[in-house]
Amino acid sequence: MTIQSKAAPVRFDGVSKVFGKDVRAVDNIDLHVDAGKLVTLLGPSGCGKTTTLRMIAGLEMATSGKILIGDRDVTKLPATDRDVSMVFQSYALFPHMTVLENVMYGLTFSGFAKPEARSRALAGLDLVGLKGFDSRLPSELSGGQQQRVAVARALVLEPQVLLFDEPLSNLDAKLRRQVREDIRAIQKDLGLTVVYVTHDQEEALAVSDEIVVMRNAAIAQMGTPRQLYDAPNDRFVADFIGEANLLPCEILSVDGDMAIIEIEGYRHTLPSRGLPTGPATIAVRPSRLVIDSGDGVPATVAKATYVGVRMEYTLTGKFGQVFAVHDNVDTPLEPGTEVRMGFAAKGPVLLPE
């Protein structure tokens, strides 16, 4: 008995969700999730990502727009009738049922005979590495194990779409990395369509085929992790994915798809991304700031922190304050040191002002 995949794509066409009279939780979004892909909904709390997920599940009904799973319009279908399962943040294991009963629960409503449901459930538990735990109660499992039961319970239904609502937030840091890798491995092995909600950008970067960054009930940017990290559309995305220093600059000239910018006399060449000359913003990751390269913007070391693998510096100057990291831990800079701050050749991105 193995778990099959019936992966199907998910489509949102102009979907909105309004709570009460005028609270717009999701505002007219279009979204396409390819079959067999893991897509993450990422954003700060209150951005509408969980509502979007719950609309896929059928736990919330769209106020307007259309939702398709596979080629079926499910906009008006309740959760019961959608071929979707979900792993909850709290796991939502039924405390009065054993692990096996929990995993079998959904199968019994899917028309499987008992022995069949049982063997499928056992296969599911096997898949998540919980063989032999079937007669325990959820309260007798550790957090990580409970999490896996929740995954198995959702998996065995072979849903068209599998949903995860911040599944790792209740685990400690070490376990998180382990579990997210497990989830990714299972998803890839089975070719599942997964929609995954998190507010942790590192988690999103690690597991996703594609990330949807949401802000204020709308989609801010959609793309592969690399695209979002390297080419954020705006200041919000740049700041939310990874950490970015946002500095005001002036585009002096544009030549083809390259531009020359200037900050306090320091010039740098980088892709123009279609921006015209004039004031703009440059986003620089902390690791892409080159400290004391000789050339650069004048700055002062305000704070220096040793964190083991690297040094973290806070630099101040006329531009304001930036955050930089440096691999040289052997000869750290003292606070108060005057430095020149330059940009690495690759990495900095131009954004509209």
Partner 1 sequence: MRVSTTDKTSHPVLIFWILAGWVGYCLLPWYMVEDGLWSFEWLFDGYPFDEDYAPAAFLIGQGEKIWLSPLLIPLALPLLVLGRVKSDPVYSRILILSGTLGFGWLIAQGFSIGIRGFNYDWLGSLFGDIRLRQFGMGYGAMICATAFLFLLTQGIAARGAINGDVFVVSAIGGVITIVTAFVFFPIAKMLFAAFVTEDGAYSISVFFAKFFDDRLWGLGCLWGARCGAAWNSLFLAIMVGFITTALGLAFALVVTRSGFRYKRALRALTVLPIITPPFVIGLALILLFGLSGTVTQFVAELFDLTPTRWLYGMPGVLIAQTLAFTPIAFLVLIGVVEGVSPSMEEAAQTLRANRWQTFKTVSLPLMRPGLANAFLLGFIESMADFGNPLVLGGNFDVLSTEIFFAIVGAQYDQGRAAVLAIVLLFFTLSAFYAQRMWLGKKSYTTVTGKGDSGVHPLMPKGLAIPVMVVALGWALFTAAVYAMIIYGSVVELWGVNNSLTFKHYVTAFSVRFEEEGIRWTGAAWDSFWTTITIAAIAAPLTAAVGLVTAYLLTRQSFAGKNAFEFGTMLSFAIPGTVIGVSYILAFNVPPIEITGTGVILVISFIFRNMPVGVRAGIASMSQLDRSLDESSLTLGANSWQTFRRVILPLLRPAILAALVYSFVRAMTAISAVIFLVSAKYDMATSYIIGRVENNDYGLAIAYSTTLIFVMLAVVGAMQLIVGRTQIGRRMSQSRTNV
Which residues contact partner 1 (rule: CB under 8 A)? 6, 57-59, 61, 76-86, 88-96, 105-106, 109-111, 137-139, 143, 146, 150, 153-154, 157-158, 163, 170
C-alpha–C-alpha distance, residues 136 and 268, integer Å: 62
**At 307, which helix (H) or strand (E)?**
none
Q: Tokens in use for 341?
A: 């701050």
E-assigned strand segments in 82-136: 84-87
Between 39 and 103, whose beta carbon lies closer to partner 1?
103
What residue type is 184 in one-letter code? R
Between 164 and 313, whose beta carbon lies closer to partner 1?
164
Q: Is 96 left (phi over 0), alpha (psi -120 to 50) or beta?
A: alpha
Distance in Å, CB of 197 to partner 1, minimum: 13
Between 163 and 179, whose beta carbon lies closer to partner 1?
163
Distance in Å, CB of 157 to partner 1, minimum: 7
Between 30 and 73, whose beta carbon lies closer to partner 1?
73
Distance in Å, CB of 14 to partner 1, minimum: 19
| Phi, psi angle pair for 297, to nearest 5° | -85, 140
Distance in Å, CB of 196 to partner 1, minimum: 15
C-alpha–C-alpha distance, residues 14 and 134, integer Å: 43
Distance in Å, CB of 140 to partner 1, minimum: 8
| Phi, psi angle pair for 105, to nearest 5° | -45, -55
For residues 328 and 290, is the Cβ–Cβ distance under 8 A?
A: no
Between 92 and 302, whose beta carbon lies closer to partner 1?
92
For residues 353 and 279, is the Cβ–Cβ distance under 8 A?
A: yes
Distance in Å, CB of 24 to partner 1, minimum: 17
Between 58 and 232, whose beta carbon lies closer to partner 1?
58
What residue type is 105 in one-letter code? Y
For residues 36 and 189, is the Cβ–Cβ distance under 8 A?
A: no
Instruction: Count other Cβ atoms within 10 Å, centred on residue 237.
Output: 24
**Residue of 36, 76, 44, 43 lying closest to 58 (CA atoms):** 76
Between 61 and 302, whose beta carbon lies closer to partner 1?
61
Distance in Å, CB of 134 to partner 1, minimum: 17
| Phi, psi angle pair for 65, to nearest 5° | 95, -175
Distance in Å, CB of 191 to partner 1, minimum: 16
C-alpha–C-alpha distance, residues 253 and 241, integer Å: 28
Between 84 and 244, whose beta carbon lies closer to partner 1?
84
